[in-house]
Amino acid sequence: MSNTLNGLVALVTGASSGIGEATALALSAEGARVAVAARRADRLESLARKAPDEMLALDLDVTDQESVRAAVAATVERFGALDVLVNNAGVMLNGPILGADITQWTRMVETNLLGSMYMVHASLPHLLERGGTIVQVSSTSGRIASAYSGVYSATKFGIAAFSESLRQEVTTRGVRVVVVEPGFVATELTSHNTDPTMVAAAQEMAASMRTLRSEDIANAVVYAVTQPEHVAVNEILIRPTDQTR
């Protein structure tokens, strides 16, 4: 086990599965003390049992400002600081704009965009104290919009805009902002879609290529957060080799 993050404290949102879970484990393997946060407490408890070092499991709904403030406060209370925020929680509920169930749009904007902003708002004072790092999990959909993912893309384009403003406001105060933009990663993400055509399209896409694994994204996060303090890796676009767009 390496210890490049020894003594540092990380908070990972959406750590109950997929990219968040893998990233929490990778940061822990590098020596960080990690708070893992999401709504499915049972999944977080089993993750904490797998970790090489102590993890703090936190009940978090990023759409709820009070829950966000409480998770950040609990992390700082338990570990004494916050050095790395991995802002990863997200949902993708794709489908055509015409006739869409608008409640799914609200859910995506509240989770992916507003929730991610609330996390930054609550964490920033602590990150400024220690010269911390904010990892914003966006997507290739935050760079290129496609049919049937208009709202998801809008949330990820929004993350890019917010992150660039944030970077300009805090970088000379020692806080680094990293936007990670994965292509297709094999996770539960597409399984929450309620449109069977979209689920089938995702399955077909997965079968057509060697998809990324959550660990591939976790490695990219570790790379960014373990750079020397004067190096800010601001953006990582990472696709499966077989993915064209």
Ligand X SMILES: NC(=O)c1ccc[n+]([C@@H]2O[C@H](COP(=O)([O-])OP(=O)(O)OC[C@H]3O[C@@H](n4cnc5c(N)ncnc54)[C@H](OP(=O)(O)O)[C@@H]3O)[C@@H](O)[C@H]2O)c1
The single residue listed with the structure tokens 């896409």 is 205
Dist CA 52 CA 89 (whole Å): 23
104 is written with which tokens?
Answer: 């799914």
Helix and strand numbers, DSSP H then E, in the chain: 8, 7
The single residue listed with the structure tokens 């902002």 is 177
Dist CA 236 CA 60 (whole Å): 26
Of the ranges 9-17, 73-81, 123-131, 163-171, which one interacts with ligand X (CB under 6 A)? 9-17
Under the binding rule (CB under 6 A), the answer on residue 240 touching ligand X is: no
Of the ranges 2-10, 48-56, 84-92, 234-242, which one interacts with ligand X (CB under 6 A)? 84-92
Nearest CB to ligand X, comparing residues 20 and 132: 20
Q: Which of 83, 178, 93, 186 is nearest to 137 (CA)?
A: 178
Of the ranges 50-58, 72-80, 96-104, 184-192, which one interacts with ligand X (CB under 6 A)? 184-192
Q: Scanning residues 124 to 163, which ones bind ligand X (CB under 6 A)?
A: 137, 139
Assign 183 to helix, strand or coil.
coil
Under the binding rule (CB under 6 A), the answer on residue 19 touching ligand X is: yes
Least separation, in Å, of the C-beta of 152 and ligand X?
7
Establish whether 118 is a catalytic residue.
Answer: no
- Binding site residues, ligand X, CB under 6 A: 13-20, 38-40, 43, 60-63, 88-92, 111, 137, 139, 182, 184-185, 187-189
